Amino acid sequence: MNRASVRARIVGTGMYVPERVVTNDELASMMDTSDEWIQQRTGIRERRWVNDGQTPVDLAKAACLQALESAELEIGDVDCILLATLSPQHDFPGTSFFLHEELKAGEIPCIDLRAQCSGFLYALNFGDALITSGKHERVMVVGCEVHSTGLDISTNGRDVTVIFGDGAGALILEANRDEEDPAGILQIRLHAQGRHAKRLWIEAPSSGTSPRLDQQMLDEGRHFPRMEGRQVFKHAVTRMPEVLLEALSAASIKVDDVNLFLFHQANLRINEFVSQKLEIPEEKVFSNIQRFGNCSAASIPMLLAEVDRNRQLERGGIVCMTAFGSGFTWGSAVLRW
Ligand code: COA
């Protein structure tokens, strides 16, 4: 079998969010903000936060088990786990290793990938390459974030804190060699620009300082995420349409021929802007930021799992997924469902 005729198709999806719902009004009881401000600027109504003791691995495990169940597969059928996160459970080893143990994944390889809110698309790119190169038959791709344990819940952190939520999404990629079945990833395009790394980042702890974290850093809140919100917004609304068109053009597909657009759930206003710019009709864009906030690397696989669960997509339909995030990173993937 010629390698070029192998495509990576999605055979199972799953998602999980913690039970604890945190409404905008609840945030307003912790800091100077309001439901009106948050909804107007971001579209978010509520998000989920983990309960005490609930870990990223707990979320990822539930999403992975659902993905395996929907694919009618066992963990023993998977050859590799790729986990995208910006909120690893520990500094090292990565979250994927603790997930590996929880899933009883034997001795298959696993790795964490860190490309923040574009992390899932980066992981999907590597999963696709592992399959189309013939290295693996099945790859589990996971996005998992627990933001809530690392947010500044005072008024100082309100610009960032109101945006983020906790959640996990997972999918299983499988080699498709069936020439009658066109399902699979068609094109992925990724970019990064490290020049902007400090526009959305967490400074400490850092292995570039000794000690990595001290009382002064804590007092100054340097362990909390910091963001130049307007710059992020400006770059996102430029880069997302750019890379979306680049991926579609590489796949020889027109914007009008796409059945469903899944955008990273950073801010509903960013996504509305992108849709308007590309004249994408509202009904072709699925969002869940209103209920879950920005779950970074987990946002797109969570969307995909919901779409799959609700049967919102016919087999053969074209899906275009586009993200932007810290790094800065951005990317777009086009697939036939
Ligand atoms: N509640 C109430 N007021 C808030 C607030 C909050 N949660 N966060 C910020 N403000 C205040 C600011 O302090 C500022 O007050 P001031 O005018 O008295 O100084 C005012 O609102 C405007 O702040 P600004 O940062 O200019 O607002 P904005 O219109 O740029 O909206 C964001 C802020 C964060 C919603 C917006 O910049 C954004 O969405 N950026 C992109 C963020 C993103 O997508 N991040 C994730 C990328 S993966």
107-132 pLDDT, tens digit per residue, is 999 999 999 999 999 999 999 999 99
Q: What is the DSSP letter of 302?
A: H
What are the start-end ranges of the H helices in 251-316?
268-278, 289-292, 299-309
For residue 281, say if its preceding peptide bond is cis, omega within 30 degrees of 0. Answer: no
**How far apart are alpha carbons 19 and 4 in whole angstroms?**
44
The domain defined by 3-176 carries CATH number 3.40.47.10: yes
* Closest residue by CA, ligand 1 atom 9: 159
173: left (phi over 0), alpha (psi -120 to 50) or beta: beta
Tell me which residues are annotated as active site. 117, 264, 294
Structural contact between residues 226 and 193, judged by C-beta atoms closer than 8 angstroms? no
**2 has pLDDT over 70:** no
**How far apart are alpha carbons 317 and 311 in whole angstroms?**
12
**How far apart are alpha carbons 151 and 164 in whole angstroms?**
9
Q: What is the mean pLDDT of the chain?
A: 97
The predicted structure's pLDDT at residue 3:
44
| Residue 97 near ligand 1, beta carbon < 6 Å | no
CATH topology for the 184-287+294-336 domain: Peroxisomal Thiolase; Chain A, domain 1 (3.40.47)
**302 has pLDDT over 80:** yes
**337 has pLDDT over 50:** yes
| Residue 294 near ligand 1, beta carbon < 6 Å | yes
**pLDDT above 90 as % of the chain:** 97
Nearest to 15 by CA among 73, 90, 70: 70
The predicted structure's pLDDT at residue 311:
82
**pLDDT above 70 as % of the chain:** 99
Structural contact between residues 138 and 39, judged by C-beta atoms closer than 8 angstroms? no
- Ligand 1 atom nearest to 296, measured from its CA: 48
- Ligand 1 atom nearest to 41, measured from its CA: 35
Q: Where are any strands of DSSP class E within 167-317?
A: 167-176, 184-192, 200-201, 226-227, 260-263
Q: Predicted confidence band at 68 (pLDDT cuts at 50, 70, 90)?
A: very high
The predicted structure's pLDDT at residue 106:
98
* For ligand 1, mutation pick of 41, 235, 292 (most atoms within 8 Å of CB): 41
**How far apart are alpha carbons 300 and 119 in whole angstroms?**
10
Task: Find all residues with CB under 8 Å of 5, minimum gap 6, and list them.
Answer: 177, 179
Nearest to 235 by CA among 245, 243, 226: 243
Dihedrals φ, ψ of 46, to 5°? -160, 165
The predicted structure's pLDDT at residue 5:
86
Domain with CATH 3.40.47.10 in the chain: 3-176, 184-287+294-336
The predicted structure's pLDDT at residue 112:
98
| Residue 325 near ligand 1, beta carbon < 6 Å | yes
Q: Predicted confidence band at 27 (pLDDT cuts at 50, 70, 90)?
A: very high
Task: Find all residues with CB under 8 Å of 66, minimum gap 6, and list them.
Answer: 13, 14, 15, 16, 170, 305
For residue 314, with 0-12 CB atoms within 10 Å meaning exposed, 13-18 middle and 19 or more buried, which class applies? exposed
The predicted structure's pLDDT at residue 312:
83
| Residue 7 near ligand 1, beta carbon < 6 Å | no
| Residue 33 near ligand 1, beta carbon < 6 Å | yes
The predicted structure's pLDDT at residue 4:
56
Mean pLDDT value across residues 182-203: 98
Dihedrals φ, ψ of 230, to 5°? -65, -40
